[in-house]
Chain A
Amino acid sequence: MKRILIYIEQHHEQEGLDLLETARQIYQEEPYETYALVLKSQYDALKGIFDVIVDLSEECLQEYEMRAISEVCYQLHKSYHFDAILFPATSWGRLIAPRVAMMLDTGLVADVTDIAHGEHGLELIRPAYSGRIMASIQITGDGPMMLSVRPGVFSYTQHKKAATQIRIPQDLRYRTGGLKETGRKEKHSEYDIRESDVLISGGGGVERYFHELRPLAELLGGHVSASRAIVDKGVADRNVQVGQSGKTVNPRLYIALGINGALQHIEGLRNVDYIISVNTNKYAPICSLSDIVVEGDAYTFIHRLIDTIHKEKGYEGH
């Protein structure tokens, strides 16, 4: 029976659960056992789903103590001999996984977005060159195989009922110190674009009036997102960035205003039902992916569409 260790990042339990779908696609019909590694004991969402929860809460480790966490992973592997170790490709996951891979002398594939079983066997697929090419990668050597997996691309929907064992490892040896958090300012994000059904998204073309997108988003029951062009300029917050270097989103409707649609942006549009793009260049790459292309200026589009919606609503009200 194969054994898979999945690292659960604090406050990102869903990303950890979604890695069960990655594991299922890797091992398909082969039997396997799933182990969740948790730093703090808030894991109700994982109970009944994972076979084993390895609870490290007694160790009081902080998520930034990467050296200690990787030393723990190393020791767990020495006792359980995992076949695969999966991390969510979150900020911490992407910093811890490479250390673990080096300690285990094994191959690690970063930011996996797809699994394929090709002629060479298992292939892990990831974007490279800012999303311009997709690379299929195999892990060579004796393993275990290690992956960091891009959040938002695999989705675990089954509700397997497993009798979950909780294990508290004893006699762990690791080193802490040398690094400490001295302050933390929470960002207050009103919404998560990954959960939005409707996204009104702005790019370089709306730099001067990005704030005008919000009323349209509210009218359509959605939220505002942005492309890298406008985030890099500091106009929009990185929290709402769609694309390879931002988030992968799955809205039903995506309205792209002044977005060119470089591959790195399109990489973030996973399962979008409808795309409307508004662009002064009707040959911009995003236009060929759109259901409707509005050739013209986004400012005019926003105001005319808002007026039309109000007017039509007004008629219906009478």
Chain B
Amino acid sequence: MKIICVVKFVPDVDNFTYDHEKHIIIRENSRMMVNPDDACAIGFALKMKQRSPDTSIEVVTMAPESVLPLVEDILRVGVDTATIISDRLYAGSDTYATSRVLSRYLSGATYDTILTGSHAIDGDTSHVPSQIACLLDLNHMSYISRIDESSFSSSLARFEVESEQAVSSYEIQMPAILGLTRASGYRLPYVRYKNLNMDVSDRVTVIHNDVLCFDESEVGLTGSRTKVVGTHVKTYKNRSHHVVTTDQEGIDTVYRFLKDKQFI
């Protein structure tokens, strides 16, 4: 079975640099990590490989080449191959343009299923899995909180999706795109000490636009259908607050406040 995991490298949201002039993320300078939901997809694929060793896993990402060390670490935990789709022309692509780039690569790849995450912690649009599914003409489901490992095969997957109202079970015919969430509990393992310096360079392929052949007008900022025209850090109106402690005087202050406002 061949599994492709489509993943995104995201800046650690606690620590990122944003170019407020051009309205793009300065990815080169920020500390990057595998998007947490996408890491679950790789974690699940590795679990499947443990169960049936003839499973092969390819990780596909569209990213600047600076993610190479992170991609190499993914190969050091058991993923077979990785493809980095990277070109200066693709910088600034919105989800529409990104989905088109990824889909062009995937349409020429072989796979039984595509696994990915449900949400990315940076943009959090959740558009790309649905849009790739549309372009590859596949069924798709996101928010997967549990996958039945024993029935997972190249023809079928059974899984659960948790929504606000219910937990639903589904059956999907492969090939399909499955988006996991962190609730699934799968993790990307740490690289073992003995593998820290394992040479994996022959298992990484970097693909540029000379392979995918997009016209400049189809990708990047110009090929996008949306553009960010401004950003601001949201500010909230501070209230002139009263600081008390949990002693009786403080509690009485809260009590009187609640009584004044008729909550009691």
A interface residues (Cβ-Cβ under 8 A, vs B): 11, 64, 66-67, 70, 91, 94-99, 101-103, 105-111, 118, 120, 123, 127-141, 177-187, 189, 198, 220-221, 232, 238-239, 244-245, 252-253, 263, 266-267, 273-276, 278, 282, 287-297, 300-301, 304-305, 308-309, 312
A289 near B242 (CB under 8 angstroms)? no
**CB within 8 Å for A140 and B13 given contacts A294-B245, A297-B246:** no
- Nearest 3 CB-CB pairings of A with B: A107-B225, A296-B246, A110-B125
19 additional A-B residue pairs with CB within 8 Å, beyond A97-B130, A300-B246: A67-B133, A91-B142, A98-B95, A99-B133, A102-B135, A110-B126, A123-B230, A129-B13, A130-B13, A133-B18, A133-B234, A136-B231, A178-B173, A179-B141, A253-B258, A288-B238, A290-B239, A294-B254, A309-B255
- How many of B's residues come within 8 Å of A, CB to CB? 76
Is the contact region of chain B dominated by helix, strand, or loop, or is it mixed?
mixed
A133 to B19, CA, bound (A): 12
A105 near B13 (CB under 8 angstroms)? no
Contact of A296 among B13, B135, B228, B250 (CB under 8 A): B250
Tell me how many residue pairs across A and B have CB atoms closer than 8 Å: 247
B224 near A140 (CB under 8 angstroms)? yes
Interface-central residue, A128, A182, A276, A312, by most chain B CB under 10 Å: A128
Q: Which of B38-46, B72-80, B116-124, B194-202 has 4 or more CB atoms under 8 Å from chain A?
A: B116-124
A295 near B245 (CB under 8 angstroms)? yes
B251 near A305 (CB under 8 angstroms)? yes
A103 to B137, CA, bound (A): 11
**CB within 8 Å for A137 and B228 given contacts A102-B99, A110-B127, A275-B239:** yes
B229 near A123 (CB under 8 angstroms)? yes
B131 near A129 (CB under 8 angstroms)? no
Residues of A within 8 A of B23 (CB): 135
7 CB contacts below 8 A, A to B, read A91-B142, A110-B124, A136-B232, A187-B167, A198-B263, A244-B124, A292-B243
Query: Is B216's beta carbon under 8 Å from chain A?
Result: no
A131 near B173 (CB under 8 angstroms)? no
B interface residues (Cβ-Cβ under 8 A, vs A): 13, 16, 18, 23, 94-96, 99, 119, 121-128, 130-131, 133-135, 139-143, 158, 162-173, 176, 182, 224-234, 236-239, 241-246, 248, 250-255, 257-259, 261, 263-264
Residues of B within 8 A of A263 (CB): 234
A258 to B192, CA, bound (A): 37
A287 near B241 (CB under 8 angstroms)? yes
A184 to B96, CA, bound (A): 33
Residues of B within 8 A of A138 (CB): 226-227, 229
B255's closest neighbor in chain A, by CB?
A308
